[in-house]
Structure 1
């Protein structure tokens, strides 16, 4: 796949605090790339450097063969985390305004706007003012505004925030369609289940530096070790003699045993104590959500597993 965006060795400081420390990743045509991290990790600063809202102290951002002020911003779409639309302006007028900012033909934009309003359940709302819309409807309008000009690169910062489950599904399907048709997508979200389902690759950042970078398959193979969840009254000493257990979390009657990377699950289960109290037992892989939480709370799951690079 063709490389659309390249972020190389970004460094950024505010006063005496370094918020980006040698950040590098690529986004390719037709892929959905996730940029993840806890609050304050540096995600928004990275996105603002890509958008030219601010510039790095060191490193560079390249869009195709352009960098710095030469980047053609009209080929990039951006849905910011901080939503904002003119309240007393009609929906169609604001969408045409967004298109005009990107030098996109007016009549072509009008047709695309009507098509997307219908697709996103807003048919007939083109003459409504933004203040007449619900929060979710307003978010749909702003999403349409970010793609009205057929961008080659689309940056989505928390696109699912505040949406009901039905609207989330609509957004998810449309983002997948855009990628299928060749748009390079950089997506930031705290909803790990959607990221795990949608994204091809991910870049996870913590305290301004890379902790994970790779394809979703690579990340799962590298970090998503097995865990065994047991419901029943068992003391922690019950599990101390078990091999291949790297961590035990217990709460009420639930015990979660995190297993080592190369464990053979079938053989391991045979070693459970005969007097174990089991009401329910399940074995599955560590989820992306759990990896995220472990990194955000410094439990060092990524450091224990080693780094993954695409």
Structure 2
């Protein structure tokens, strides 16, 4: 890591400012959810149904991503990732999700419940086709690329932390953080193309019950889901063991192994960006307090 990169403050911290705009969506989401429960405003309902509210907050960061793509080469492939390795990283992410969700489910905090529900097909399309691309662009593309000047460990940890807290759900923050570590590693070592693909696969599994419901209807959903998840569990277990034997996972969590230079870089990042960090965490904490009736 070159020290000159850390001390280079000639460029504005545009990515962090864009992240503040992106996170502001959490506050807006609370507003729009509360408003549509007591109004017939078709514009607000359309925005909510089709996730247009979040997409609007993504416009500035997407513009920045497109504008800087030639310079940053976001989609550059550093190393090709074969199908077996993709599945082993999927198995690791899926295992992390199951394990940490079981632990976090012990926490009994009731969130806000809204009368107006989105059409199931819009949730499926957004979760599988749109969210993985947007979130990888925001957190692995723009944010992690910017943070690399503080060292790759800082870039992976901070971008994954922001990815975790962006999930607007107490139960998902910790699992999303660790899954973010895997996605960040895949993006850094291989390409953001592969982290997008892995993210899509994870979201397909996470929304499997909705997909089966749409395709087969409520009568066949439970037996079919049982077969799918048992098969998936066995498959993931096999590939998880393969990943362990190949030592695929050894480097993934080296992000937590910080040497003296890494720790100094982390401190420099915190000192240089304390205002941005406070604003982002303030937005997230406020949204959680309102969403879980703690305020």
TM range (shorter): under 0.3
Relative contact order higher in (CA < 8 Å, ≥ 6 apart):
2
Larger Rg: 1
TM-score, L = length of structure 2: 0.23
TM-score, L = length of structure 1: 0.22
Structure ranking higher in helix proportion: 2
